């Protein structure tokens, strides 16, 4: 998504915005971004425009909770996290059968043959382990059939089903060709620019 298209969507209101796990890792920054979006939504409502809807797929939410559990150990309290998200007007959305179907249609269209799907998973795992899929191919005997799909594919499928702009810093192969993806830095900068120009 180009910066110009994103800015226009943010000015027009009514966009659905989903956040990948990595967009929420820095909770202080994420909270500030959500506060900025709340101010923008307030302004849009004053202009009789639809506010933006902020969405977190339950799969991404689960990843963030796991990180926080590791960090805070015995003092971890998920109710505090959920209350904070709700205060920022974020909707934690389930992964439903409709999302599963949309993900299957997306992945089935992108990888129409089993061998293509297996190869995509193998390539992803090799890259994550620091191996080059072509140069190091002889080091990995697996066809990729037994490699699990990563949560990222399902977060993408969820965002596509919900017709969301997906805010993600992930540049992995599974995100290639996702037209409505934008990096956190780009999104953050454009949200601030739109708010400043409409004030």
In the chain, where are the structural domains located?
3-197
Distance CA 151, CA 157 (A): 10
199 residues of the chain, pLDDT tens digit each? 899 999 999 999 999 999 999 999 888 899 999 999 999 999 999 999 999 999 999 999 999 889 889 988 999 888 888 888 888 889 999 999 999 999 999 899 888 898 888 888 888 878 778 887 777 767 776 777 777 778 888 999 999 999 999 999 987 777 777 779 999 999 999 999 999 886 5
CB-based contact 23:170 (threshold 8 Å)? no
pTM of the model: 0.87
Beta strands in the chain (DSSP E): 16-19, 53-57, 90-93, 165-167, 181-182
Q: Does domain 3-197 have CATH number 3.30.70.1350?
A: no
Phi, psi of 198 (to 5 degrees): -100, 0
Distance CA(154)–CA(105), nearest Å, equals 12
H or E segment and range at residue 93: strand 90-93
């Amino acid at each position: 998504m180009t910066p110009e298209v994103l800015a226009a969507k943010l000015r027009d209101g009514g966009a659905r915005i989903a956040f990948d796990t990595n967009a929420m890792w820095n909770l202080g920054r994420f909270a500030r971004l959500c506060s900025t979006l709340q101010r923008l939504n307030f302004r849009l409502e004053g202009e009789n425009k639809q506010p933006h809807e902020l969405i977190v797929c339950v799969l991404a939410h689960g990843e963030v909770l796991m990180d926080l559990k590791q960090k805070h150990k015995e003092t971890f309290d998920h109710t505090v996290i959920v209350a904070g998200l709700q205060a920022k007007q974020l909707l934690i959305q389930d992964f439903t059968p409709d999302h599963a179907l949309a993900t299957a249609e997306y992945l089935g269209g992108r990888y129409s043959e089993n061998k293509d799907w297996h190869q995509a998973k193998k390539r992803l795992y090799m890259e994550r382990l620091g191996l080059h899929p072509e140069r190091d191919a002889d080091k990995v005997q697996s066809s990729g059939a037994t490699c699990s799909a990563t949560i990222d594919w399902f977060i993408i499928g969820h965002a596509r089903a919900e017709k969301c702009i997906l805010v993600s810093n992930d540049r992995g192969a599974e995100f290639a060709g996702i037209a409505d993806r934008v990096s956190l830095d780009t999104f953050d900068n454009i949200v601030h620019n739109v708010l400043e120009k409409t004030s």
